[in-house]
Structure 1
Amino acid sequence: MTDTSATRHVPSNTPPVDAVPGPIQTAPATGDPDPLRRTRTGVVWIGVIIFAVVLVLLLIFILQNTQPVEISYLGATGHVSLAVAMLLAAMAGLLLTAIAGSLRIWQLRRRLRRSAR
């Protein structure tokens, strides 16, 4: 006689055959990295594209502002194009901002090292 009350053992992590529509999809293993994650190469590529766009805009700016202007600074005088004068002023502002930011970062790191002791 056969025992009809006995059931076939099915592992709990295996879904029933009827519950899986279409092709069976497997989840990536836990050690596999996400294929769509952000990588250093991708970030560098985005940076290169942004840099190229800024250079094109800068070239357009320089080509449209070629009128000569007189610049005087601490007694020195000279004639340069308007674009060059504006770019020099922007670079000076950027340099001052970088110096102030670097000093603040240095100050915070020094304070952090002192508090860690």
Structure 2
Amino acid sequence: MSTAANGPSKDWPGSESGRPPDSERPALPASTEPDQGLIEDVARRKGIKGTRTGTIWTGLVVGIVVLLLLLVFILQNLDEATLELFAWDFTLPLGVALLFAALAGAAIIALAGAVRILQIRRAANRQRQLIE
């Protein structure tokens, strides 16, 4: 028996590490050996699927961050701005006026998207009726 840096080990012929070759090592029962594919998938996060709760949580956090950024933007732009629309004159803080403009733009985009969704839904219903 020889003594290695890690402690005593048996000299196995043809083995530089002093360990028995794989063919002579005792095999673990199949139920206790980990599945290598599963370990690799979990390590790459492929085995963990997203949930609705996780998606809602992520959306909530992103929404809070956006609201905080908007609040900071509005508080930093409190200078009065005079807006004219047709015959009306408005005096608003600049940050609030820009926020209203962004909301109006988002509403226009949402309206255009809703119209397109309705068009596609009608076309799909017509196609379904033709097939039946």
TM-score class, shorter-chain normalisation, is: 0.7 to 0.9
Tell me what 2:98 maps to: 86
Letter in 2 for 1:36: I
1:8-47 residue pairs with structure 2 within 5 A? 18-20=26-28, 24-25=32-33, 36-47=48-59
Structure 1, unaligned stretches of length 5 or more? 1-16, 29-33
Tell me what 1:69 maps to: 81
- Rounded to whole Å, the distance in 1 between the matches of 2:90 and 2:71 is 23
Tell me what 1:115 maps to: 127
Structure 1 runs of 4+ aligned residues shifted over 6 Å read: none
1:53-93 superposed Cα distances (whole Å, 9 cap, x missing partner): 10110111011000000011121101000011101110110
TM-score (norm 2): 0.65
Return closer, same or farther for 1:44/1:25 CA change in 2, 3 Å cut-off.
Answer: farther
Tell me what 1:56 maps to: 68
Cα RMSD between the aligned structures? 2.5
Cα distance, 1:24 vs structure 2: 1.8
Structure 2, unaligned stretches of length 5 or more? 1-24, 39-45
Report which structure shows greater RCO (CA 8 Å, sep ≥6).
Answer: 1
Tell me what 2:110 maps to: 98
Letter in 2 for 1:116: R
Paired positions, count: 95
Cα distance, 1:19 vs structure 2: 3.8
